[in-house]
Structure 1
Amino acid sequence: MEAFFLILFVILFVVCATMEFSKGAKDRIQASSSFNAFKNNYLAVYCLMMAGDWLQGPYVYRLYEYYKFSVKEIGRLFIAGFGSSMIFGTIVGSLADKHGRKLASIIYCITYILSCFTKHSSQYGWLMVGRVLGGIATSLLFSAFESWLVAEHFKRGFEAQWLSITFSKAIFLGNGLVAIIAGLIANTLVVNLDFGPVSPFDAAVFFLTIGLCVILYTWTENYGDPSENKTLQQQFKTAAAAITSDEKIALLGAIQSLFEGSMYTFVFLWTPALSPHGEKIPHGFIFATFMLASMIGSSLASRLMARATLKIESYMELVFGVSALALLVPVYAQVFLDAGEPEDKEGPLSASIRLQMIGFLVFEACVGIFWPSIMKMRSQYIPEESRSTIMNFFRIPLNIFVCIVLYNVSKFPITAMFGMCAGFLVLAGVLQRRLSVVAETERSRSKPADVEKDLSAASDPLLS
């Protein structure tokens, strides 16, 4: 393996460990012991759920290749997953607001377990069923658990700022450390133990089952709007009305779709970008390095959110700008630095590949900052009664975008795709600026009203 990758990994590991263990009092939020117990329970469940998801990721495409399906057939399977998430996932996720977020989390576990079982069949039809189930599960993973957490957090009387602790730790552990460990477990099962490409999916069932048991016996139920007389259509109308009537919610949804769309496109493009002429690169090791960069970002986000005077809306403008520049690096590298096909594909890496790798690590760090920050903003702006429904509405344009990219990815040069993503991120930054202005305007308007109320209470002895 190229020493360059090992050096980057070691540097990022040292930076990550230093940042996490050097936090002072100003970088931490002091919370109660009851909150810490609640937080640790949620983090345990979230990590088990993410382990079930991350174990599958590296070997989905490989399993379909193992079953001898063509690239076109595999592409259709992936499109079915995103399409299912957009259509069925939106409906199932929205039901969580009425019938319970705990129930929706249980359905996630069962649905994903069934999806894993279908991987034992080489029949295209069964694999398609598995992708549909997986798409539904993905929608629940990114809506039901967060909705349950936010509702339960406030139901137990915890302070709003404490949510940022849970969000940053969830991303640091579930989307960082767990992803690395899951990748190593999957690689050990398939390569070292030679159990075949379906074995990671069986391991995923194991972790999902444990998480299901923890949810069943330790979580209480909470709802958005348990009204018995509100139909699914009425729930959709309520959510749509909230988005169209509150500019902050609409801006937040657009920002999320633009960033996540760029992020998922990056997932498809980083491999061909780092091996444009078939160079041999250590995919698993690079993935682990990406996750370390993401952990650094989430650690930095926890420090930023611990400062009550620093608004998330303000620093996220900079994050979107940096992430846009990071995805312009491959455009510059491939246009100006690419030296053509090397004589030895296992030889030293070109300057173009090295520069792109550094740019991708910067982007992954921005991803680590984005997740806990967007979660905190969602907890502030999305109304509780329609939280799951609105969060799934946000994923509709995302899934449409990803399906279009998947269908047309071979029709455009990779530089054009990265340029498009950079443009989306610039637009996200512009919308984030608008969100910051709108939020600040509303805060300034509410202050005089609060002051007037306090003065009235002070002057009236019956109210004091």
Structure 2
Amino acid sequence: MEMFYYLLFGGLAVVVALLELSKTGKDRVATSSAFNSFKNNYLVVYSLMMAGDWLQGPYVYFLYSQYGFGKGDIGRLFIAGFGSSMVFGTIVGSLADKQGRKKACVTYCITYILSCITKHSPEYKVLMVGRILGGIATSLLFSAFESWLVAEHNKRGFEPQWLSLTFSKAIFLGNGLVAIVAGLFANLLADNLGFGPVAPFDAAACLLAIGMAVILSTWGENYGDPSESKDLLAQFKVAAMAIASDEKIALLGAIQSLFEGSMYTFVFLWTPALSPNEEDIPHGFIFATFMLSSMLGSSIASRLMARPILKVESYMQIVFTISAFTLLLPVITNFLVSPSTVKGGSISFGGCLQLFGFCTFEACVGIFWPSIMKMRSQYIPEEARSTIMNFFRIPLNIFVCIVLYNVNAFPMTVMFGMCSIFLFVAAFLQRRLMVVADSHRAKTQDWAQKERDVETEPLNDH
């Protein structure tokens, strides 16, 4: 492997270490021991959940190909997973609000363990069932855990600002450090120790079982709105009304769908973008470099959110704009840098430029996750939190399914250009969200001041 990759990874590692070690009092928030215990418990569970997810990622496609399935069959399996998340996501989100978020988190563990077990079968129908179960589990992973955390944090009376600490640390560990370790561990099990491509899925099932045991023994239950016995249709209506009646929630959902849709498209396209002529690139090492970039982003986010005067709505406009430019790089390099015509070989100069850009995009992803979590905790009503969060994922899953189905129909530059446009739109919508939120905040403050003036008037007359 070329020195370039080691230098890039090493440079990012040094920057991340310096950022973490150089934090001052301004970058840290004073908290209580009770909160720290609560936060650490959640981080252990979240890290185990994400480890179970990341262990599977590098070997899903490879396992299916080892069973003898072609690109078309494998594509349909992936579409089934995203389609399942779209169809069942809102239902399981509503059940989480109604039946309890802790139960939903346990259901995630059970569903994903069953999905891992199906990987032992070479039968296409069994693997399809596994993808459907995996899609349901993904919906729960990205809604139930966050909903439980926000509700429990508020129920225990912790400071609202402290929630940002948990979000940023969860992304730093779960989407950064754990992803790197999980990728290396999966490689060790499957290749170095010779256990084969099913071994990472068995390891994932074990970690999910451990996480489930921790949830069952240490977590309390919380609900969306237990005061009324709402059926699923009523839950859907509450969520839909909240989105339709509050522009802030609608904008937040659009922003999330645009960014995540671009992110998942990037996941499909980065490999052919860096090796258009079948260049020999270290996929696993580049993946680890991306995860390190994500850690860098979450470390930056923790510093940004530690400053009360700095609004999330403000700096995220810059983040989305930078993201848009980074995904425009493949289009720019295609015109400015002459493509290599030699098959194989090492990564091209254009590929190196794109890799730097992709690492920057992953750093933006690391900033995005804790920041969008904070905005969701501010704007989404508690009574239908999981339901609304899964409503947000419906357009995302439709978009990803369309991309998967047509991934060979358009040139790669067109796909990256489309993602860049989406991210510019997200930056514009983020600006609109800031304006609406500031206007709402000003009206609330004026109303509160008028209430205080009314209360003091009789005293003044007397």
Report if TM-score (shorter chain) is over 0.5: yes
Find the counterpart in structure 2 of residue 68 from structure 1: 68
Task: Rate the CA distance shift 1:460–1:253 in 2: closer, same or farther, 3 A.
Answer: same
Name 1:314's counterpart in structure 2. Answer: 314
Secondary structure of the equivalent of 1:183? helix
Is 1:305 equivalent to 2:301 in the alignment?
Answer: no
Residues in 1 aligned to 2:30 and 2:455: alpha-carbon distance in whole angstroms: 32
- 1:314 counterpart SS class: helix
Q: Which residue of 2 aligns with 1:361?
A: 359
Q: 1:452 is matched with which residue: 450, 453, 459?
A: 450
What CA deviation, in whole Å up to 9, does each residue of 1:387-437 have, x standing for no partner? 000000000000000000000010100000000000000000110010000
User: Which whole-Å deviations, capped at 9, do the CAs of 1:421-457 have from their partners, x for residues lacking one?
Assistant: 0000000011001000000011111122222333444
- Deviation per CA, 1:267-314, whole angstroms, max 9, x where unpaired? 000000000000000000000100111111000001000110111001
Q: Percent identity among equivalent residues? A: 70
Q: Using the TM superposition, give the Cα deviation of residue 386 of structure 1 relative to its aligned residue in structure 2, in angstroms.
A: 0.3
Q: CA RMSD in A?
A: 1.2
The SS at the match of 1:117 is helix
Which whole-Å deviations, capped at 9, do the CAs of 1:81-106 have from their partners, x for residues lacking one?
00000011221121100100000000
Report the equivalent of 1:213.
Answer: 213
Which letter does structure 1 place at the counterpart of 2:67?
Answer: Y
Aligned twin of 1:373: 371
For 2:109 and 2:218, the matched residues in 1 are separated by 15
Q: Does 1:104 align with 2:104?
A: yes
Displacement of 1:183 in angstroms is 0.2
Counterpart for residue 257 of structure 1: 257
Residues 99-130 of structure 1, C-alpha deviations (whole Å, 9 max, x = no match): 00000000000000000000000000000000
CA distance, structure 1, for counterparts of residue 90 and residue 309 of structure 2: 36
Do residues 58 (structure 1) and 26 (structure 2) align? no
Do the aligned residues in 2 keep the contact of 1:111 with 1:136 (CA within 8 Å)? yes
2:123 paired residue number: 123
Deviation string for 1:306-362 (max 9, x for gaps)? 11011100100000000000000111112221433226x234x32101100001011
Partner of 1:397: 395
Distance 1:303 1:410 in 2: 41
One-letter code aligned to 1:261:
G
For the pair 1:271 / 2:271, whether they are aligned, the reply is yes
Unaligned runs of 5+ in 2: none
Q: CA deviation at 1:17?
A: 0.5
- Separation in 2 of the partners of 1:203 and 1:308? 41
Letter in 2 for 1:447: Q
Deviations along 1:116-148, one digit per CA (max 9) or x if unpaired, are 000000000000000000000000000000000
**Maintained 8 Å contact 1:55/1:182:** yes
* 2:208 alignment partner AA: L
Q: What is the alpha-carbon distance in structure 1 between the residues aligned to residue 371 and residue 313 of structure 2?
A: 9
Conservation of the 8 A alpha-carbon contact between 1:105 and 1:145? yes
2:364 partner amino acid: C
Q: Deviations over 1:15-35 (max 9, x none)?
A: 000001111010111111100
SS at match of 2:407: helix
Deviation at 1:226, TM superposition (A): 2.1
1:210-232 deviation digits (Å, cap 9, x = unpaired) = 00000000000000012453110
State the one-letter code of the partner of 1:187. Answer: N
Q: Which letter maps to 1:217?
A: S
Match of 2:152 in 1: 152
Comparing 188-197 with 451-460, greater Cα deviation is found at 451-460
Output the amino acid matched with 1:296: L
Tell me if the contact between 1:98 and 1:227 (Cα under 8 Å) persists in the aligned partners: no
Helix, strand or coil at the partner of 1:271? helix
Deviation at 1:461, TM superposition (A): 6.5
Unaligned runs of 5+ in 1: none
C-alpha contact (below 8 Å) 1:82/1:399 kept by paired residues: yes
CA shift, 1:458, in A, is: 4.7
- 2 CA distance for matches of 1:444 and 1:89? 36
User: Counterparts of 1:175-194 in structure 2 under 5 Å?
Assistant: 175-194=175-194
Of stretches 98-107 and 87-96 in structure 1, the one that deviates more from structure 2 is: 87-96
Question: Which residue does the alignment assign to 1:233?
Answer: 233
Give the corresponding residue for 1:16. Answer: 16
Tell me, in whole angstroms, the C-alpha distance in 2 between the residues paired with 1:426 and 1:302.
24
Write the distance in 1 (CA, Å) between the matches of 2:454 and 2:181.
58
**Distance in structure 2 (CA, Å) of the matches to 1:64 and 1:194:** 18
Match of 1:85 in 2: 85
1:203 matched to which residue of 2?
203
CA distance in 1, matches of 2:459, 2:56: 65
Local SS of the residue matching 1:78:
helix
Inter-partner Cα distance in structure 2 for 1:54 and 1:61: 14
Secondary structure (helix, strand or coil) at the match of 1:221 reads coil
Q: Distance in 2 between matches of 1:176 and 1:364?
A: 10
Task: For residue 411 of structure 1, give the secondary structure of its aligned residue in structure 2.
Answer: coil
SS of residue in 2 equivalent to 1:410: coil
User: Contact 2:340–2:348 (CA<8 Å) still a contact in 1?
Assistant: no
